[in-house]
Structure 1
Amino acid sequence: MSSFEHVIVGAGIIGLTTAFELTRRGVDPRRIALVDPAPASGATNVAGGMLAPAAEVQYRQEPLYPLMLESAALYPSLIADLPGIEVGYRTESTFVVAADRADATHLRELTEHQHAHGMDVDRLTLRQARAQEPGLSPQLASVVEIPGDHQVNPRMFAAALLRELASRGVTLVREQATALRWEGETCVGVETSTDSLRGDTIYACNGLGASALGLPLNLRPVRGDMLRLTGRMPVGRVVRAFVEDRPVYIIPRTDGTIAVGATSREDARVRPAVDGVYTLLRDAIRVVPAIEDCELVEALVGNRPGTPDDLPYLGLRGENLVVSTGYFRHGILLAALGARVGADLGLDRETTVDISDCDPGRHEL
């Protein structure tokens, strides 16, 4: 049995940023273990990576707004501590566009809602928008610009964190966590497929897998189809759109690829859905016509860990188990804040961030 101060189950973006935040706070990296058979291969591998607290207001999740804003504000300093490592962080503004009149009404209502919450959102004429992004369709009904909504490349970010953590001496256990070990109210360790790890503080950051550890969490898989394209870059910033009330986004990456996503479905299809891929391409081409000249590199589907109220599970269980999962569609955006809160709880057993709406025990089965 190996012993550590901090044992983190899950090496997706939540587990990786939590481990990194602990090292930033002075924890000896050799006293940290990450347990995951395939790091960054789940939802992180398929995520869009939009750091978009204002645009996400459309989902009417008021308790999340301050958390999303705070997390987005933490990203520059977090990335600055990965010197010389490219993570695909881009700070161009985001455009949100409407394809027809009904979509324009939806976008106007969304903009009013954003303004009511003090968010910086600017209406543009189509001429103004196309002066900046000539690739936009001339048939769009309306456009708004969000200066503070940015992006990071989740694959590059996760790879950078993995390299940095390994170079600092964090132990990566490439095995499946199968159970938690308890002594009364204290979680004392993690069982893996071949071994046991003892820890002073344990972190459940393994997305949907947290339920398999025996935790009473009401998690469900919400699948999302995502496409990766290559070709001449048709836009120079994130473009989000409403097309006949369907959302679609187009994300130009620093690695020369273009991400197009994403559907949201709760069905039994574990591979990319034909209707989802077709709809994404059709809607993206309607917004940015030059996309039809691109090549399809990859069609992916990811399982995002959803909760009944779409808020994450973030907080302490027992005396020393930090639960950090259920981020649904906001995993990349909320990772910086999730790491901060996770480190707060792991080191001090308390945090100044208001996470009362994210209590891991609120949906006990």
Structure 2
Amino acid sequence: MPPEERTSVVTPAACCVIGAGLVGLATAFELASRGHPVTVIDPEPMSGASHHAAGMLAPAAEIQYGQDNLVPLMRASMALYPDLVQRVAAASGCPTGYLTCGTIVVAADGADRRHLRELADFQHAAGMDVEVVTTRYLRQLEPAIAPVVAGAALIPGDHQIDPRVFGAALMCALKKLGVRFEERKATPDDLGPKTVMAAGLGAAEYFPFLPLRPVWGEIMRLDVPDAMTPLVTHVIRGFVEDRPVYVVPRGNGSVVLGATSRENHRKWGSLGGVYQLLRDGIRLVPGLEECSISDIGTGGRPGTPDDLPLVGTDTATGTVISTGYFRHGILLTALAARLGAALVTGDRHVTGLDDRAVESILTHTDPYRWSN
């Protein structure tokens, strides 16, 4: 064949992902799905913040004052999630734990009701679909809610995923795609231009300039008696004397109870945090008293000074940094995976976003943005 008629075949580059939480696993999935040989390095896959997370995909319910730059990321990732879930399900043949059940936000007393209405106004201003409903209608939707609650809002577009189930599906899919897992601690030799650092709080060990701080939160998993299953069918988020609490139903009939947040170096859970969860949860959903505790855990989430993630390329090693997802790590996983894959491959089309959106995201999440 004459040289001018030959076509060259480009072999996708081998890549490495450090960290096997949901962000790392999903990033590896995006790379492997595009033909890249991938190695995932983590001494204990799915043992960190992802293991303890409740898994709410709730850009409306999670929105907070002063986080305007975070809202586009949350919405973009939410839009990408159904496609990610469908592809993981097809590649793995496993359940994903994805539910489109919607969220109900509940106020325990009059002051909490004012907070709820102010938050609903803020959510409406951000273009979110939120409907303040009567407590009578609330009781029709969720009979297990306490009859004395003072107010409620319905957010039908917020979904949820069980991180442990989805993590198992991702690992199954990755193994079928030929991804190699190395259950060991990463070394400096593993860093480089085709590596994604997605080790959560552990990323600061390799890149000490990253302004990460641990934010701990207690979480409980409860088994519901058969006669009471399902206890609730929506994600229940509440304010009890301005303290947040949530009750998340799982597909197997169990529920997750959580929402404490503390910033200290005490890794293990506190008795006060567990007591607060039980007290506030039972006040909103009295049937929780009849449940049995199957698991209590404490997850360390990687927080940043402005609550935005750290996504970009390290100038010294060429390593792609993808961490700092804080309270929104599960929600932002779909977007984080696309961005990480795009930075490694140089193909911005991987993100599914236009160039302007990608540049805006990378500008606001640049790991070096505090250096000056």
CA distance in 2, matches of 1:113, 1:253: 29
Note if contact 1:217-1:364 (Cα within 8 Å) is conserved in structure 2.
no
1:240 aligns with 2:249: no
Residue pairs, 1:169-180, within 5 angstroms: 169-179=178-188
Note if contact 1:88-1:255 (Cα within 8 Å) is conserved in structure 2.
no
Corresponding letter in the other structure for 2:71:
Y
- Name stretches of at least 5 consecutive residues in structure 2 with no aligned partner: 1-12
Post-superposition Cα deviations, 1:12-55, rounded to whole Å, max 9, x if no partner, equal 1110010111123x223xx2111100001000000010000001
Residue pairs, 1:157-196, within 5 angstroms: 157-179=166-188, 181=189, 189-190=190-191
CA distance in 2, matches of 1:67, 1:300: 28
Note if contact 1:320-1:349 (Cα within 8 Å) is conserved in structure 2.
no
CA distance in 2, matches of 1:146, 1:227: 24
Residue pairs, 1:1-365, within 5 angstroms: 5-24=14-33, 26-28=34-36, 31-81=37-87, 82-83=89-90, 84-179=93-188, 181=189, 189-190=190-191, 200-231=193-224, 232=228, 233-318=230-315, 320-348=318-346, 350=348, 352=355, 353=358, 354-355=360-361, 356-364=363-371
Secondary structure, in 3 states, of the residue corresponding to 1:63? coil
RMSD across aligned positions (CA) = 1.6
Query: By how many angstroms is 1:220 displaced?
Result: 0.8
Note if contact 1:52-1:333 (Cα within 8 Å) is conserved in structure 2.
yes
Post-superposition Cα deviations, 1:135-154, rounded to whole Å, max 9, x if no partner, equal 01111111000011010000
CA distance in 1, matches of 2:314, 2:202: 16
Corresponding letter in the other structure for 2:114:
T
Secondary structure, in 3 states, of the residue corresponding to 2:210? coil
Note if contact 1:206-1:325 (Cα within 8 Å) is conserved in structure 2.
yes
Of all paired residues, the percent bearing the same amino acid is 49
Corresponding letter in the other structure for 1:64:
L
Post-superposition Cα deviations, 1:157-212, rounded to whole Å, max 9, x if no partner, equal 01110111011110111100132x4xxxxxxx44xxxxxxxx65111100011111
Note if contact 1:218-1:364 (Cα within 8 Å) is conserved in structure 2.
no
CA distance in 1, matches of 2:65, 2:58: 12
CA distance in 1, matches of 2:161, 2:186: 29
Corresponding letter in the other structure for 1:175:
R
Note if contact 1:40-1:158 (Cα within 8 Å) is conserved in structure 2.
yes
Note if contact 2:193-2:319 (Cα within 8 Å) is conserved in structure 1.
no
Corresponding letter in the other structure for 2:340:
G
Q: How many residues end up aligned between the 2 structures?
A: 343
Secondary structure, in 3 states, of the residue corresponding to 2:255? strand
Q: From the two aligned structures, give the one with the greater strand fraction.
A: 1
Query: By how many angstroms is 1:59 displaced?
Result: 4.9
Post-superposition Cα deviations, 1:224-253, rounded to whole Å, max 9, x if no partner, equal 100010013321110000000000000010
CA distance in 1, matches of 2:197, 2:310: 10
CA distance in 2, matches of 1:62, 1:200: 31
- Name stretches of at least 5 consecutive residues in structure 1 with no aligned partner: 182-188, 191-198
Secondary structure, in 3 states, of the residue corresponding to 2:64? helix
Corresponding letter in the other structure for 1:335:
T
Corresponding letter in the other structure for 1:145:
L
| Greater displacement, 311-320 / 98-107 | 311-320
Cα 1:200–1:308 shift into 2, 3 Å: closer
Secondary structure, in 3 states, of the residue corresponding to 2:25? helix
CA distance in 1, matches of 2:347, 2:19: 20
Query: By how many angstroms is 1:349 displaced?
Result: 6.3
Secondary structure, in 3 states, of the residue corresponding to 1:123? strand
CA distance in 1, matches of 2:69, 2:152: 27
Corresponding letter in the other structure for 2:242:
D
Secondary structure, in 3 states, of the residue corresponding to 1:136? coil
